[in-house]
Structure 1
Amino acid sequence: MSGPEAFYATAPSVISEIGWTVRGARDCLHGVHVREFWLRKAALLDRIALTDDDPVGGDAATCAVEAARRLMEIDHADDPRTADPRGYVRQEYALWIRHH
């Protein structure tokens, strides 16, 4: 497998991540695991967008970019090397999942 999907090869199923995100929203609102919440949410939305008819300009892609930008704000990742928000999420998710 190559391409963006390769970053999610060992990720839990989309359905599982939807459940985690719904449960995690409460903790995020209380300041617990904020970065993990936004990382997993952004990765989930990116994965959904990759399966969309328009994986770059569709509604799912727009939501994925918005969530990715929120993660980038949390990480203070505003340098030119992070010009691709969804690419940033893929990179960060791949690093994160290796350690979990």
Structure 2
Amino acid sequence: MRHWPAPEAAYATAPSIISEIGWTFRAARDYLHGIQGREFWLRKAALLDRIAVTDDEPAGGDAATLAVEAARRLMEIDHAAGLGPSGYADGPYTPDHPDSVREPRGYVRQEYALWIRHH
């Protein structure tokens, strides 16, 4: 049984990777000036996941490692905020669910698919 949306489904209506790199760069400046945000970490984690999915390196490559690290940061933020099953309370897996802990990038795909549907 597949728990998470496939990358193609989660990112089907996402802006281009180049566009998201630009957004992440601009948002990082705000983040570095003390403005934290779930959206920043969600979009950064999703961007890194998308790059890792298209990366020719094996699953243990740099892109995959960075994607997992960003996903874990998003999960920490969501857990600290006490978010329900998702940021919009309609996803099945919480950030501390065992499946989320095992597959942080899957959690990002779930949350991104929900987020993009609402934006």
Q: TM (normalized to structure 2)?
A: 0.76
> Match for residue 80 of structure 1?
98
2:59 alignment partner, SS class? coil
CA-CA distance at 1:78 after TM superposition: 2.2
CA shift for structure 1 position 43: 0.2
Q: Distance in 2 between matches of 1:67 and 1:29?
A: 16
Deviates more, 1:77-86 or 1:8-17: 77-86
The number of residues matched between the two structures is 99
Q: Name the structure with the higher helix share.
A: 1
Match of 1:36 among 39, 44, 58: 39
1:67 maps to: 70
Structure 2, unmatched stretches of 5+, are 80-94
Q: Letter of the aligned partner of 2:20 in structure 1?
A: E
- 1:39–1:71 CA contact under 8 A, matched in 2: yes
Match among 44, 56, 74 for residue 53 of structure 1: 56
Is 1:20 the counterpart of 2:38? The answer is: no
Higher mean Cα deviation, 30-39 or 42-51? 30-39
What's the % identity of the aligned pairs?
A: 80
Query: TM-score scaled by structure 1?
Result: 0.90
Q: CA RMSD in A?
A: 1.6
In the aligned structure 2, how far is the partner of 1:31 from the partner of 1:74?
Answer: 15
